[in-house]
Amino acid sequence: MSGRPYDHARNAGNRGDVWKHAVLLTVVDGLAGGDAPRRGVFRYLETHSGRGRYKLPAQGGWNEGVGRITGREPAHPYARLAVRHLQSGEYAGSWLLVRERLGELGRAAAVTLHDVSDEVARDVHDAIASEGLHDVTFCRGDGFAAVRDAAADLVLIDPPYVPEPLPDWKRVIEAMDALQTPALAWYPLLADVTFPPLDIALPTFSVWWDGQGSPFIGCGMVATRAAVGPILGALPELERVALQMGAACQVRVPP
């Protein structure tokens, strides 16, 4: 992996994003939609937010990711929202997707974002001002430190895993072990790294694909116990999303 600062714009909409955001919105639906108890404002917190919108190049990781789930009538709420953005030549980041889905579900949102990047800070502040996103609060700084005292209905931890993946993985597991709230964390599966995600005590939802020489051969979401129900309840829909991008699912729920 390279030593330059991580810029998610290069990878927006790739297979990793598709899986992450499909699982994320599945959990949002389970916690905030349908028969879920409605207790006012839904508090969503992200430790590594990235921007809200990414302009997509003609060729990029998105061709193998979100580009492969658009040919059919999208049934999953994530797919519908992602396709709408794709029609404007953009990919929507995690927190924007969550905010839009909460709006569709008729829930008021309080979105708290953390990111260390100055560029991301500028971008998100611009979006808050120009799009009137008054329910979004951005804090520039270390997201792992912020998550310790998190009071939220759902937390997403999504570090870049560069330049070295294992330190981020260690901090993810420490944070997830300490969280009592519904929480999800994304991880990559890399051909050249002995990555330990499948040995942990928390449930994992992985997808694997043929990386065709790329070191990035899959990814997954770790979930706290409080977030697992909605994912298990929507596995067939999630498996369809995985299949459309040529990936196979592996679910692991330790006793």
Q: Does 93 bind ligand SAM (CB under 6 A)?
A: yes
| 94 CB-near residues (< 8 Å, 6+ apart) | 20, 21, 24, 46, 49, 50, 156, 158
- CB 4 to ligand SAM: min, Å: 12
Q: Does 99 bind ligand SAM (CB under 6 A)?
A: no
* Residues in 105-164 at the binding interface with ligand SAM, rule: CB under 6 A: 114-117, 120, 142-144, 158-160
- CB 35 to ligand SAM: min, Å: 27
- Residue 73 or 98: the one with the smaller Cβ distance to ligand SAM is 98
Angle value at C-alpha 93, between 164 and 103, nearest 5 degrees? 145
Angle value at C-alpha 253, between 249 and 255, nearest 5 degrees? 160
- Residue 17 or 64: the one with the smaller Cβ distance to ligand SAM is 17
Distance CA 84, CA 187 (A): 26
Distance CA 6, CA 195 (A): 20
- Residue 22 or 242: the one with the smaller Cβ distance to ligand SAM is 22
- Residue 92 or 242: the one with the smaller Cβ distance to ligand SAM is 92
What is the pairing mode between strands 204-208 and 216-223? antiparallel
Q: Does 94 bind ligand SAM (CB under 6 A)?
A: yes
Tell me the CA distances in angstroms from 5 to 9, 73, 199, one per residue in order: 12, 37, 29
Q: Does 6 bind ligand SAM (CB under 6 A)?
A: yes
Which residue type is seen at 235? L
Q: Does 14 bind ligand SAM (CB under 6 A)?
A: no
- CB 86 to ligand SAM: min, Å: 14
Q: Which helix (H) or strand (E) holds 240?
A: helix 235-244
- CB 97 to ligand SAM: min, Å: 8
List interacting residues with ligand SAM (CB under 6 A). Answer: 6, 8, 17, 20, 46-50, 93-94, 114-117, 120, 142-144, 158-160
